[in-house]
């Protein structure tokens, strides 16, 4: 038995009968994307700075008119306009005999620091509220006040 030799032409005629496969995908090349790093970004006000600010802000009898205009958030300014029966910064209708500011807590992740403020009254009673300061406020200012009762 003799084998016939087929040339290249016979092979080319047989190729269209083979299944056509799509080309293999080319792997994606990773291109570095610049990422903004907060290397030089300050972390905001410290507990010490907030404490000194609150002590100066509240003083012995409450904030000055200047501090009320320049060192409180717009939210508190608006709240005071609609709250006529009480001072939203003191949580009381009158000025206290004395004011004390407790230790400051700072929550970097929340971007806020706070302290309990105690007001002392002529009657011998005391009240407390919490004053909040945003760590990134410029100038430093009270962002919110939450009354205890």
- Domain assignment present for residue 12? The answer is no
Percent of the chain with pLDDT over 90: 69
- Domain assignment present for residue 92? The answer is yes
Report pLDDT digits (tens) over 65-82. 999 999 999 999 999 999
pLDDT band at 43 (very low <50, low <70, confident <90, very high): confident
Q: How many Cβ atoms sit within 10 Å of the Cβ of residue 145?
A: 21
pLDDT, greater one: 7 or 97: 97
- Domain assignment present for residue 52? The answer is yes
Range of the domain at 112: 47-147
Residue 40 is predicted with a pLDDT of 31
- Spatial CA neighbour of 114 closest among 60, 73, 42, 54: 54
Q: Which two tokens stand for residue 94?
A: 């009158």
Structural domain total, the chain: 1
Long-range pairs, 113-121, Cβ under 8 A, ≥24: 113/45, 113/47, 113/50, 115/50, 115/51, 115/54, 117/54, 117/58, 119/90, 119/91, 119/92, 120/96, 121/96, 121/97
Asked if pLDDT for residue 96 goes beyond 60, the answer is: yes
pLDDT band at 128 (very low <50, low <70, confident <90, very high): very high
Residue 76 is predicted with a pLDDT of 97
- Domain assignment present for residue 31? The answer is no
Q: Which two tokens stand for residue 53?
A: 């600010």
- Domain assignment present for residue 70? The answer is yes
- Domain assignment present for residue 42? The answer is no
Q: What is the CATH number for 106? A: 3.10.450
Q: Write the CB contacts of 101 (distance below 8 Å, at least 6 apart in sequence).
A: 51, 54, 55, 58, 115, 116, 117, 118, 131
pTM for this entry: 0.71
Report pLDDT digits (tens) over 4-17. 444 544 444 444 55
Alpha-carbon Rg for the chain, nearest whole angstrom, is 36
Residue 34 is predicted with a pLDDT of 47
What is the CB-side half-sphere exposure of residue 91 using CA atoms within 13 A? 19
Element (H, E) at 52: helix 47-58
The stretch 100-122 carries a mean pLDDT of 97
């Amino acid at each position: 038995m003799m084998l016939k030799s087929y040339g290249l032409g016979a092979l080319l005629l047989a190729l269209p009968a083979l299944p056509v496969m799509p080309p293999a995908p080319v792997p994606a090349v990773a291109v570095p994307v610049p990422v903004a790093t907060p290397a030089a970004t300050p972390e905001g006000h410290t507990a010490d700075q907030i404490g000194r600010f609150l002590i100066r802000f509240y003083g012995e009898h409450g904030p000055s008119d200047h501090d009320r205009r320049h060192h409180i958030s717009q939210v508190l300014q608006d709240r005071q306009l609609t709250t006529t029966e009480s001072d939203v910064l003191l949580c009381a209708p009158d000025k206290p005999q004395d004011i004390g500011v407790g230790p400051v807590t700072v929550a970097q992740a929340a971007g806020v620091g706070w302290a309990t403020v105690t007001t002392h009254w002529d009657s011998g009673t005391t009240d407390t509220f919490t004053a909040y300061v945003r760590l990134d406020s410029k100038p430093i200012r009270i962002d919110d006040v939450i009354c205890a009762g």
